[in-house]
Amino acid sequence: MANEHPDDMAEFHWMMDMVQTVDVGIVVLDREFKIKIWNGFMESHSGMLPSQVRDKTLFELYPDVSQAWFSRKARPVFELRTRAFMTWEQRPYLFKFPSYRPITGSEDFMYQNITLSALASATGTVENICMMIYDVTDIAAHKNQLEALQVQVSENKEIQATQNH
Amino acid sequence: MYSVLICDDSMVARKQVAKCLPPDWEVAVHFAKHGQEAITALEQGKGQVMFLDLNMPIMDGYETLKTMGKKGLQSNVIVISGDIQPEAHERVKALGALEFIEKPVKPETLQEVLRKHQLVELEEEEAELDESALPTDIRDCYQEITNIAMGQAGDALARILNVFVKLPIPNVNLIEVSELHMMLQDIQHKDSVSGICQGFIGPGISGEALFILSDSSFGDVAKILDINEEVDDQVQLEMLMDAANILIGTCLRGLANQLDLYFSQGHPVVLGQHRNIAELIKSNKNKWRRTLAIELSYGLEGYNVQCDLVLMFTEESMNVMNYKLSHLLED
């Protein structure tokens, strides 16, 4: 009985392994925002084991996250099955994780782009949503550097302009 | 020389009308985004002929006609609207409009109306067929699937936001790089609108969605999205993202369902805020020449919310889409 679909089980096993090891944060939340899945990326960066976070709400673990705001973001995902996005330009991070490169990195924390997408159940209803957390620290650092440089260039131009007068 | 005034809140619609004017007609063309602007232009002596949309923010077409009557402003008004209810025709004619043309406007119809009212010289020449135009049956087909997608999206929006969505008539066109350029520059130069673009991709089909919201809508959008905090720049930006997301998401889902595929969406990018739009397009100029654009101009009943959604598909995508839609084209 147990060995009826050994291939299916093996496949399930390596698929779970993939979810665990992929270098993107994956969190599955139910309608009450209780955590169902917390993958390896989340475990490593937060320092919290899946067993510690399971069935706790996102807001218990991260009191800084406003429940009203997050529910508003997630509502269309549950109701309309659209995706919802949070970008680092608006909110540098949702989970305050230390920088991935503690020695050579210039930033103190991980900048994050976050996508929420609906997970359909076998019956077609949406009871869970998946949150994907991307590390965009390098992009953010480059952009910040570029902006600082632009400010410097325009300041230099102004100085030159005043000197010429 | 004649002065022609085109009054429509949608940028693409304004350009569409301008493109439909007889090519040899020597006129000065002026644009207005709503009735108030049109009235100002008329008072300045512009607009012996006016093409007027009905559904517009600030001052709609009916109000414009009434105000013209009150102020005694003369113009040959031709109403161009997506409102196809017979009562709309009667009402605008009673208010002094010469003629009513349904959207999307076609060059032949528009030129025939101009001839009928002797606004252009009677010249018996066959209207040239624009080779860049989309074949009518394919255009109808895209329009139809967008209509259905909109119906589904509208229903979903109405349920989640508790508002009545005025369903727009989709405007389907092939647009050239230069036209898109103009459109984006419009966004950049006016502080009064904000834009967001988002890439989407499905098997063999790729494109970008462009969402434009007029800044005067922000207060009402906050009400609809149930945001009670103070609306500062940060909140405004996030609201723009959320509104864009709901509209783009529902609309794409509706389209994807009918094409029997799935679109994945990239992260949205705010236009103009962090990069120069002109440069953005210039660097891409060699890669594409024209794009299939589906334009939707939304309104919400009881709220002063006006937004445009433009879905742009690459030329290559059209082959795949035409194939997927071929069952609709068969007789």
The mean pLDDT value for A3-12 works out to: 76
User: B154-200, pLDDT tens digit by residue?
Assistant: 777 777 777 777 777 788 888 877 777 776 666 666 656 777 889 99
Hey, is the C-beta of B256 within 8 angstroms of any chain A C-beta? no
Report which residue type is found at B63.
Answer: E
Give B202→chain A minimum CA distance, Å.
Answer: 15
Question: Which one has a higher pLDDT value, B231 or A15?
Answer: A15
The mean pLDDT value for B283-289 works out to: 60
Which of A80, A87, A94 would you mutate first to test chain B, the one with the most B CBs within 10 A? A80
CB contact under 8 A, B225 and A85: no
Question: Which one has a higher pLDDT value, A145 or B328?
Answer: A145
Give first-to-last CA distance, chain B, whole Å: 47
Burial class (CB in 10 A: 0-12, 13-18, 19+), B17: buried
Residues 6 or more apart whose Cβ sits within 8 Å of residue A72: B225, B226, B227, B242
> In the structure, what pLDDT confidence band is assigned to residue B122 with cuts at 50, 70 and 90?
very low
Q: Which residue(s) pair with A85 in the sheet? A: A115
Give A114→chain B minimum CA distance, Å.
Answer: 9
Distance CA B178, CA A131 (A): 39
CB contact under 8 A, B160 and A83: no
Distance CA B270, CA B263 (A): 20
Which of A82, A87, A91, A147 would you mutate first to test chain B, the one with the most B CBs within 10 A? A82
Neighbours of B204 (CB within 10 A): 13
Q: What integer pLDDT is reported at residue B287 of this predicted model?
A: 62
Q: What integer pLDDT is reported at residue B131 of this predicted model?
A: 46
Q: Which two tokens stand for residue A35?
A: 């955590």
Chain B residues whose beta carbon lies within 8 Å of the beta carbon of residue A143: 274
> In the structure, what pLDDT confidence band is assigned to residue B327 with cuts at 50, 70 and 90?
confident
The mean pLDDT value for B74-81 works out to: 88
User: B137-160, pLDDT tens digit by residue?
Assistant: 788 888 888 888 887 777 777 777
Question: Which one has a higher pLDDT value, A135 or B132?
Answer: A135
CB contact under 8 A, A76 and B160: yes
Distance CA B10, CA B92 (A): 20
CB contact under 8 A, A75 and B160: yes
Residue with tokens 């624009």: B130
Give first-to-last CA distance, chain A, whole Å: 91
Complex ipTM value: 0.74
Report which residue type is found at A92.
Answer: P
